[in-house]
Chain A
Amino acid sequence: MMLWILLAWSTPLWIPAFSEGDEPKPREPLLRLLPLESDLKGWTLDGEPQTAEGIGLFELINGGAEEYVKEGFRRAVLTTYRNPGGKRINVDIYEMASQEGARRIQRKKAGDKGKKVFVGEEASMEDYYLNFRKGAYQVTLSGYDTQQQTLEWLLHIGRLVAERIGASP
Chain B
Amino acid sequence: MDQLTRRSFLKRAACLGGGALLSQSPLLSLAQTNPQAPPAAQIKPTLVAVKGKDPYGSTLRAIQELGGIEAFVRKGDRVGILVNSPFKNIGASVNPEVVLAVLEKCFKGGAKEIRYLKDPHRGYWERSPRSGELATVIKSLKYESGDHVSVEIPGGLALKDARVTKDLRECDVFINVSITKHHDGVRYSGALKNMMGLCPFSTNSYIHWGTLKLGWYGDLNHLSQCIADLNLIRKPELCISDATTFITENGPYGPGKLASAETVVASTNPVSLDAFCCRFLGLQPEDVLMIRKASQHGLGEMNPDRLRVKSLSV
Contact = CB atoms under 8 A, between A and B. Distances in A.
B216 A142 contact: no
B183 A90 contact: no
Contacts of A140: 255
Nearest to A88: B123
Interface stretch (B14-22, B45-53, B84-92, B134-142): B84-92
B185 A63 contact: yes
Contacts of B217: 63, 66
B166 to A, nearest CB: 19
Interface size of A as a range: 20 to 34
A4 to B, nearest CB: 6
A14 B217 CA distance: 12
A153 interface: no
A63 B183 contact: yes
Given A63-B185, A63-B217, A4 B212 contact: yes
A17 B173 CA distance: 50
Interface in B198-236: 201-202, 205-206, 208-210, 212, 214-217
Nearest to A56: B201
Contact of B254 (A8, A67, A142): A142
Contacts of B253: 61-64
Contacts of B88: 80, 90, 142
B6 interface: no
Q: Which of A14, A61, A62, A64 has the most CB of B within 10 A?
A: A62
A13 to B, nearest CB: 6
Interface size of B as a range: 20 to 34
Contacts of A70: 215
B122 A14 contact: no
Contacts of B255: 126, 128-129, 140, 142
B257 interface: yes
Contacts of B133: none
Interface in A47-65: 47, 58-59, 61-65
Contact of B184 (A13, A66, A80, A82): A66
A85 B251 CA distance: 29
B250 interface: yes
B209 A8 contact: yes
B279 interface: no
Nearest to A131: B255
A58 B206 contact: no
Contacts of B288: none
Contacts of A67: 184
Interface string A119-130: 000000011110
Interface string A57-95: 011011111110110000000001010001010100000
A160 to B, nearest CB: 19
Nearest to B193: A63
Contacts of B216: 58, 63, 65-66, 69
B250 A64 contact: yes
B254 A144 contact: no
B80 interface: no
A4 B254 contact: no
B258 interface: yes
Contact of A58 (B122, B185, B201): B201
A66 B252 contact: no
B127 interface: yes
B127 A4 contact: no
B126 interface: yes
A61 B210 contact: no
Contact of A13 (B87, B183, B205, B214): B214
Interface of A: 1, 4-5, 7-8, 13-14, 46-47, 58-59, 61-67, 69-70, 80, 82, 86, 88, 90, 109, 113, 126-129, 140, 142, 144
Given A113-B257, A142-B255, 5 more contacts: A13-B214, A63-B183, A63-B216, A66-B185, A126-B255
